[in-house]
Structure 1
Amino acid sequence: MLRKLSFSFMAIMIGLMTVVGSASASTVTYPKSIVHKDGALAYEHMDYLANEIGSRVAGTDNEKLAEQYIYEQFERIGYETEIQEFSYGEGSDSSNVIAYKPGKSSEQIIVGAHYDSVSAGKGVDDNASGVGVMLESAEVLKHIKTPYDVVFIAFGAEEEGLQGSKAYVEQMTQAEIDSTVGMINLDSLAAGDHMYVYGNAGEDGFIRDQTLNIAEKKKLDVQTNPGLSPDYPAGTTGDWSDHAPFKAAGIAYGYLEATNWEIGDLDGYHQTVEHGDIWHTENDNLEFLEQEYPGRVQEHLSTFSTILTDLLKFMNKTSTAK
């Protein structure tokens, strides 16, 4: 069910903030100057979600605080924003935060990043980083006409089996599916050794192909899965993140991620040579990442923000970026 954030719900959230004591009841604002520095605003959003709110396990007060923060940020930017509540499992509840940007045509692109986390660490990489990049691009593009409508979605309960993205796709009409040019998924962008983009096999991989073209033109260090494992052909990835329900519905996807496909089981799950996995561990915190990989987080957020913003500005349904 989609709904506007009601006064009573806002009152509940203010109460939660008072109890938890980790976030302000008023909307958080940032200096306008950092909007024009690629990755700077994404970093601030990531830092707030991870360090002011903390781990954001599905169904907890902290997940609700993150929902409220994201909702308020989209509203602050000036987007029409809604909450989609959903239930899963045996009585578990979560929600998606959805913001709408009108474009030049009736077709749409969906951009998604999950905002929940596991209990280990603070969920900086997985996935405050993805939410931060999405919010930064949303702000940069506010007054720029995009070729398509853009639907920004912060998914809840991804860590519980992609529940937020499944709930969203299940409520899409066939007309909405048909009018969706593609879905861009942002997940775990900060920690991995290398920056990647994946997409569908063949011509339906145009989002991946356009991303690689943008990266080449702007000299950004983004690559794709080299296909070292026969289970994951070059340029593709597994169905383990929020792109999967859209892919199953026949919607083309692009997936931005930082990891390392050349180590471990060659499946992209092991993120770093030095420390192995960062996601789902106590090392998924900003202090560890800044100490062990100085400059990496900033570089990744800047690169992915530039890529996402350019994709949304120039996306077309062919294999060549303009």
Structure 2
Amino acid sequence: MKKKLSILMIATIMLVFSSVAAASAQSAPVSYKPSLVHKSGKMAYEHMNYLANVIGSRIASTENETLAANYIEDQFERMGLETEVQPFSYTRRGGIHHSSNIIAYKPGKSSKQIIVGAHYDSVSVGKGVDDNASGVGVMLEVAEVLKKINTPYSIVFIAFGAEEVGLQGSKFYAANMSSEEIENTVGMINLDSLAVGDQMYVYGGLGEEGFIRDQALNIAEKKNLDVETNPGLNPSYPKGTTGDWSDHAPFKTLGIPYGYLEATNWEIGALDGYDQTVEHGGVWHTSNDTLEFIETEYPGRIQEHLSTFSTLLTDLLKFMNKTNTSK
């Protein structure tokens, strides 16, 4: 009896230790080889892959969205950035739902700030590779590249929750900015759906007629990056601008100049940017928004896009200069 009891006790102790070890392993931040950060797009790809394939679809207010938020928080903290979780609630279809924004702060030469944002939730179909693990991946890579570089402005990196259900995260953040913080914000750069569209774009508006867009286009020209802007074929969306359907919109409403990086195709369909590709139309919000589909149909496109957007955003944040303004 004692022998059986001892065996049982040993088994129980081993089970407890294995459970603790498993819990510790799950809570430990995912680490990547530091060399990846020196190869534009490589680190972004790893983050994108983790969000889409390890976590999966990240529907607003679900456990998977929370797992994605935890992952992003861990990554910002691993980089050594001052990180904050901003929880919020919203009402939808008669119920109260909960999500959060993950915010990381990188000081620069000036206390004036640039906000860089990307939403981390997705819809229920597909795995949200393009929309928007790609944007989060580029944001995280650029945050790591710039963490020790003295940029002209301080940078606030924000991973927004619950974008797919009405821009809830960005609306909450913008609504809670003080007048001083609004005045202190030089611009907001939004990253959304970077992986699959036929062409890479940058848009912008407000404040010196889109200075963020114009500086990005100058960088693209100098570095021979295949990035252009909306050609303005649809009069509803004038040249260089875009619609108010993503996380730049609440900041635009506050009068904060915006820039917006995206991959789509403004020259097909209704000329409104919703049809991303000639062959398959829109990939976002469909079962095709998976790594397997995109890499099979467009081999090398994800790598090219992540590298291009990462290079462009890095240089934009390193050299941005808003002249002739109090900001």
TM-score past 0.5 threshold: yes
1:258-316 CA-to-partner distances (Å, cap 9, x unmatched) read 00000010001110000011000000000000000000000000000001111110111
Residue 66 (str. 1) matches residue 68 (str. 2): yes
Is the aligned partner of 1:194 residue 2:199? yes
What secondary structure, in the 3-state scheme, does the structure 1 residue paired with 2:268 have? coil
Greater radius of gyration (CA): 2
Give yes or no for contact 2:160–2:170 (8 Å, CA) kept in 1.
yes
**Does the 8 Å CA contact 1:227/1:234 hold for their aligned counterparts?**
yes
Which among 162, 177, 180 is matched to residue 167 of structure 2? 162
Q: For residue 188 of structure 2, what is the aligned residue in structure 1?
A: 183
The residue type equivalent to 1:208 in the other structure is: R
Could you say which residue in structure 2 is the equivalent of 1:38?
A: 40
The letter for the 1-side match of 2:76 is F
1:34-183 correspondence runs (5 A): 34-89=36-91, 90-183=95-188
SS at match of 2:215: helix
Q: Which one-letter code corresponds to 1:190 in the other structure? A: A
SS of 1:109's equivalent in the other structure is strand
Q: Which letter maps to 2:124?
A: S
Q: Which residue of 2 aligns with 1:3?
A: none
Q: Secondary structure in 2 aligned to 1:303?
A: helix
Letter in 2 for 1:24: Q
Structure 2 match to 1:310? 315
Q: Aligned partners of 1:180, 1:219: CA distance in 2, in Å?
A: 29
Distance change (3 Å), C-alpha of 1:96 and 1:67? same
Q: CA deviation at 1:26?
A: 1.7
Structure 1 residue 78: Cα displacement: 0.4
Task: Give 3-state SS (helix, strand or coil) of 1:258's partner.
Answer: strand
Contact 2:199 2:227 in 1 (8 A): yes
Q: Would you say the 8 A contact 1:201–1:236 is kept in 2?
A: no
Q: Report deviation, 1:201.
A: 5.6
Cα distance in structure 1, aligned partners of 2:232 and 2:281: 20
CA deviations on 1:192-220 (whole Å, 9 max, x unpaired) are: 00000000167230000000000000000
Give 2:222's aligned residue: 217
Distance 1:152 1:79, change over 3 A: same
Over the matched positions of the two proteins, sequence identity in percent amounts to 74
Residue 318 of structure 1 and its aligned partner are, at CA, apart by 3.9
The one-letter amino acid of 1:213's match is N
2:238 maps to 1:236:
no
8 Å CA contact 1:206–1:318 kept in 2: the answer is no
SS for the counterpart of 2:88 is strand
Task: Give the structure 1 partner of residue 15 of structure 2.
Answer: none
Provide TM-score, normalisation by structure 1: 0.91
* 8 Å CA contact retained: 1:42, 1:133: yes
Q: Secondary structure at the match of 2:200?
A: strand
Alpha-carbon spacing, 1:318–1:223, altered in 2? closer, same or farther (3 Å): farther
Select 2:284's aligned residue among 279, 282, 286.
279
> Structure 2 stretches of 5 or more lacking a match?
1-18
**Cα shift readout 1:155-181 (whole Å, capped 9, x = no counterpart):** 000001000000000110000000100
Cα distance per residue 1:95-154 (max 9 Å; x no partner) = 000000001111000000000000000000000000000000000001100111100000
The answer (yes or no) to whether the contact 2:185–2:256 under 8 Å persists in 1 is yes
Structure 1 residues not aligned, in runs of 5+: 1-13
SS of corresponding position for 1:216? helix
> Are residue 269 (structure 1) and residue 274 (structure 2) matched?
yes
- SS at the partner of 2:89? strand
Distance in 1 (alpha carbons) for counterparts of 2:178 and 2:203: 26
Contact 2:206 2:255 in 1 (8 A): no
Deviation at 1:24, TM superposition (A): 3.5
In structure 1, the partner of 2:13 is none
Distance in 2 (CA, whole Å) between partners of 1:193 and 1:238 is: 18
What does residue 292 of structure 1 align with?
297
Q: What is the rounded CA distance, in whole Å, between the counterparts of 1:57 and 1:307 in structure 2?
A: 29
Shift of 1:25: 2.9
CA RMSD, 1 decimal: 1.6
Letter in 1 for 2:110: S
The alignment covers a number of residue pairs equal to 301
